[in-house]
A and B are shown apart, each in its own frame.
Chain A
Amino acid sequence: MFLINCPYCGERDQQEFKAGGEAHIERPKQPTELSDDEWAEYLFMRKNIKGVQFERWNHAHGCRKWFNMVRDTSNDEIKAIYKMGEKPPAQ
């Protein structure tokens, strides 16, 4: 059970949060210009890394804010947390 440092509320138990999949996948600005393959790439393709992964999390039972997390999936170490729109920290 993680202890997650919400950038708006501070450290809270994992059960207050919802995981939201891979981070930094931007919704295409002009979807109609994309081929089926390009759209499918956005829609379906997600990484599943053993190691350092960038993820979206939501403080669903708290402030309801979305934020980003850098997590090592091999040992669940949370390496960084930063707000939406901020650049990921240099690794």
Chain B
Amino acid sequence: MNKNLRVKSSEYIDETNRISFKFNGKTFHGFKGDTLASALLANDVHLVGRSFKYHRPRGIMTSGSEEPNAIVQINPNTNRTEPNVRATEVEIYEGLEASSQNCWPSVEFDIGGINNFLSPFFPAGFYYKTFMWPASFWEKYEFFIRHSAGLGKSPTSTDPDIYDHRNIHCDVLVVGAGISGILAAKNAAKNNFKTLLVDEKNELGGSTIYENNEFNKINNKTPSEWLKKEIEELKNIKNLKIKTRTSVAAYHQYNYLLARENLTDHLEAKNKTNKIRQRLLKIRAKKVILAAGALERPLIFNNNDRPGIMLSSAIKKYSEFYGVACGSKNVFFTNNDSAYESAMSLYNKGINVEAIIDIREQSESKIVKKVKEAGIKIYWSHSIVDTTGYKRLNSISIMKLSNDGTSVTGRKISISCDCLGVAGGWTPAVHLYTQSGSKLKFDDEKKVFLPNQNTSEQISVGSCGGDFKIDEIIKNLNQKLKDILNINETDLDSIKVEIDQENSKRNIWLLPSDKPLGKTKPFVDYQNDATAKDIKLALREGFRSIEHVKRYTTTGMGTDQGKLGNMHALGIIADTAGIKMGELGTTTFRPPYTPLTFGTIVGRNVGKFFDIFRRTPMNDWHVENKAEFENVGQWKRAWYYPINGENMHQAVQRESKAARQSAGILDASTLGKIDIQGSDASEFLNRVYTNAWSKLAIGKCRYGLMLNEDGMVYDDGVTTRIGENHYIMTTTTGGAANVLGKLEDYLQTEWPELDVYLTSVTDHYATASLCGPNSKKILKKIIPDLDLSDESFPHMSFKEAKIGNIQCRIMRISFTGEHSYEINVQSSYGKHLWEKCMEAGKEFNITPYGTETMHLLRAEKGFIIVGQDTDGTMTPIDLQMDWIVSKKKYDFIGKRSLYRSDTMREDRKQLVGLLTEDPNVVLEEGAQIVSELNQSPVEMLGHVTSSYFSPNLNKSIALAVVRGGKKMMGKKLFVPMENKNINVTVVNPVFYDEKNERLNA
């Protein structure tokens, strides 16, 4: 039944450029300039989808981004598929495919449609109430809900497109290029403001560009004629940038706005490749002029959702802009004059308009008289009480409205029609305005929420500011422009406007029917199938807050955020509860105004650019030698170096043995390094570490523990005194940035009197840690003239030396308990240093080891790793590290907290060692520890923090935190696992070389 409803040539449609596209598998034709919606309507296709809950057939309602029904899947089953796209916003191109959503098996025959006939059983909150019990039935319900609901399908393969972000700074941002936006942008730019004008459509001019009402004149021209000339002039204006197909998604504080610029969505596939698809514009504007326009309201009456029922303004746009008639037997239903313009637009093109149903008693404007002269029947004081037609409207029934508008009387008249335009007045698009944090006020006469303030940084002009008539728009825009731009003259001063005066209005939020409300379906939210009945039910059930009613009925919670029906929902609540609308408030309009793709949000930060990787100077060597890597913060650290097909366990056992038996080497470059200088450096360290620093001799190293002010361990590391006023502090790999931040904070805010300077030098040095009984011999080979005797270079001391010409700092410190050296060189020499060590160590079978072996070796020694064995609730006392807490120092960060009643409790979780009864059983890290097995509920005493099989002790070892653990030495506890209970004994956490004899071996 491919009827052609193209009625006249339109300058916005290129009829020489015929385009074929597919909808639900069937091929259709349209023209360049059509949207998917206009092309479908030209082919007399109204039925495009099914509603969410009742699966009612739904058609195209609007011509813009507020569309609730015509939500389609674009290019299904391709890697460019996109769900939930509004057909009214898709520009067609050759090869476009689209399909309906939310229907199965097809839009014509949808099994879920049975919900419609069952609908008395689907009231508001139905899902909440019904599917809660019995709980065991949930799986069955879920199957049913998931198959019959859902809006579209996400793509399953990688997005082939490129997305981008761009920062833009401008003096004036104008949002919306209708008549107000164009005039505002033009005048701002002419007055030397760097101006950006954006509009979501591909053509400028908003609705005025097709405004051909002969009774409205601007400078003696029709509004459309006049505006076209204004647009033409924009090209010659400096300082003005115009971006079309650009929709503002969010308006944040301080005039920071996010907009999506659509660059290739309207192009056919072959022209999309290697181009940026969408760009997120991050706009910081000195001043923002919102000219976002207004959305036409529908009317809420029984069965107001059938395909063929549309907004009156949309019918006008399809007729005037796209040259498409939406029906061949048209009727309008209105409460204001705008429907008469739409009717005349059709009439002038020879399209049949059957009647206008007007809930007002009369209107005397020129356009109404014109409609009368045209012989179109007008039913004053009438309302539609029902409609018929399942997949397409075929008739309406009307009755006379009572004087108070709450009931209908008299004889029912039936009018046959295939398209109904509804006009319920206009709602200013204040969404962006409220996102900016500004407040609304309710205008009781116009029945709209309006911006409550205009500041020096922001104004709302045109219909989004509450001015609906061209004369009001020009007059108020002129004054607002002068105020915000601080100018005395504008182009608007000389504009002469004549308009057709509308003299009566009537607003009824919910129109009555001859049937009781319970037997009718007046839809308020089309996408989510919320009816007026649902809203009243919610109120009856005790919901009062508008936010609660919204969630209970799901009104306004669809992808369109209920742009059409929100005002009616508020109106019905106000009427039912007897509250004034202004007191009710509105629900919050959240960003984005229209949905954004994930691609736009992440931009270029995908794949390997998702996050920053930090690599050490020795990284290439690790890669060449087949190391496995682990992520430590942003660092890629060598984890272990498998050889001959070893798994991790085998590799780690081998590496750990080698490090203790001969020599091992670790890339420790990731450790945080902070250079500390200044005459108060020693005093500063005294205050930030728990132990004393004043007496540390130059050339010596000391381990330090840093607490938070709450007494909990924050970080640890070795600090070396390089000179009288010069230290090098090392921090944990993950803590480096935070430690620097914390130290700077104290220096700047608490102790500004201290003469101390901090510099992060983490990336400046590469560090190789050489360890094991042969480490001394290896170092000797590399630096033959350095005295490595224990007298000259004892444990915990430091020397400057040279490897060839390379200056290095060597610390004799140990995180493994072995005799070891940390050699630091300028990072560009890191790989050279490493290779030098490997070469010199060859005869000692020097073994590179990764982080896993490092963890194992330190666990054998009972050394903690901050963040693994601690979790922000452990004091040094809990860790059995009392020895590092100075009793003599008057103060240090966290000291006072160690004497709080809570931190002094003896039953706090404390660090202990655990040995398993069976030495081959390795505990799981994180496993819970109990003392009783037959207790219910059982008390959890703590958990395992580190656990390994130690090749050097040939048994399993673990560190754990256990409540009151310090006093449990030798006690038997249990680690209950899924299939077994593991018997463990509490022991001293130092498992290996308790007397530290190996340090000097």
A positions within 8 Å CB-CB of B? 1-3, 13, 18, 20, 26-28, 30-32, 34, 36, 39-40, 43, 56, 58, 60, 64-66, 75-76, 84-85
Contact = CB atoms under 8 A, between A and B. Distances in A.
B998 interface: no
Given A27-B750, A31-B891, 20 more contacts: A1-B253, A2-B254, A13-B256, A18-B741, A26-B750, A28-B896, A32-B891, A32-B899, A34-B896, A36-B901, A39-B900, A43-B709, A43-B710, A60-B741, A65-B748, A66-B744, A75-B437, A84-B748, A84-B752, A85-B752
Given A34-B896, A66-B748, A13 B901 contact: no
B140 to A, nearest CB: 46
A83 B748 CA distance: 10
The 8 A-B residue pairs whose C-beta atoms are closest, nearest first, are A31-B896, A1-B256, A3-B254, A66-B748, A76-B253, A1-B252, A27-B750, A39-B896
A64 B748 CA distance: 10
A56 B749 contact: yes
Contacts of A43: 709-710, 897
A58 B745 contact: yes
Contact of A3 (B256, B437, B749, B891): B256
Contacts of B891: 30-32
Given A60-B741, A84-B748, A1 B254 contact: yes
Nearest to B709: A43
A49 to B, nearest CB: 17
Interface string B868-898: 0000000000000000000000110001110
Nearest to B167: A13
26 contacts: A1-B252, A1-B253, A1-B254, A1-B256, A2-B254, A3-B255, A3-B256, A3-B284, A20-B745, A27-B709, A31-B896, A32-B891, A32-B895, A32-B899, A34-B896, A36-B900, A39-B897, A43-B709, A43-B710, A56-B749, A66-B745, A66-B748, A76-B253, A84-B749, A84-B752, A85-B752
Given A32-B896, A84-B752, A64 B254 contact: no
A67 B709 CA distance: 21
A2 B900 contact: no
A24 to B, nearest CB: 10
Interface string B569-603: 00000000000000000000000000000000000
Nearest to A39: B896
Contacts of A28: 896
Contacts of B895: 31-32
B258 to A, nearest CB: 9
A75 B438 CA distance: 8
A58 B744 CA distance: 10
A62 to B, nearest CB: 13
B669 to A, nearest CB: 23
B818 to A, nearest CB: 38
Interface string B229-259: 0000000000000000000000011111000
A32 B891 CA distance: 8
B253 A2 contact: yes
B481 to A, nearest CB: 24
Nearest to B437: A75
Interface of B: 252-256, 284, 437, 709-710, 741, 744-745, 748-750, 752, 890-891, 895-897, 899-901
A85 B741 CA distance: 19
A16 to B, nearest CB: 13
Residue among A1, A40, A84 having the largest count of chain B Cβ atoms under 10 Å: A1
A11 B255 CA distance: 13
Contacts of A27: 709, 750
B683 to A, nearest CB: 15
Contacts of A2: 253-254
Contacts of B256: 1, 3, 13
A20 B746 CA distance: 12
A64 B896 contact: no
Contacts of B897: 39, 43
Nearest to A67: B748
Contacts of A13: 256, 284
A75 B745 CA distance: 28
Contacts of A75: 437
A34 B750 CA distance: 18
A64 B901 contact: no
Contacts of B254: 1-3, 76
Nearest to A31: B896
A58 B750 CA distance: 14
A65 B749 CA distance: 10
A65 B378 CA distance: 72
A59 to B, nearest CB: 11
A56 B748 CA distance: 12
Residue among A31, A36, A58 having the largest count of chain B Cβ atoms under 10 Å: A31
A58 B284 CA distance: 21
A66 B895 CA distance: 24
A89 B254 CA distance: 22
Nearest to B890: A32
A84 B751 CA distance: 11
A64 to B, nearest CB: 6
A47 to B, nearest CB: 18
B253 to A, nearest CB: 5
A30 B900 CA distance: 15
Nearest to A74: B437
Given A2-B254, A31-B895, A76 B437 contact: yes
B158 to A, nearest CB: 28
B719 to A, nearest CB: 21
Contacts of A85: 752
Contacts of B437: 75-76
A6 B752 CA distance: 19
Contacts of A31: 891, 895-896
B298 to A, nearest CB: 34
A18 B253 CA distance: 17
A32 B896 CA distance: 6
A84 B256 CA distance: 28
Nearest to A78: B254
Contacts of A39: 896-897, 900
Contact of B744 (A36, A40, A64): A64
A65 B366 CA distance: 68
Contacts of A1: 252-254, 256
A27 B667 CA distance: 39
A45 to B, nearest CB: 13
Contacts of A84: 748-749, 752
A28 B893 CA distance: 11
Given A34-B896, A39-B900, A40-B900, A66 B749 contact: yes
A42 B895 CA distance: 14
A87 to B, nearest CB: 15
Contacts of A18: 741
A32 to B, nearest CB: 6
Contacts of B284: 3, 13
Contacts of B901: 36
Contacts of B752: 84-85
Nearest to A76: B253
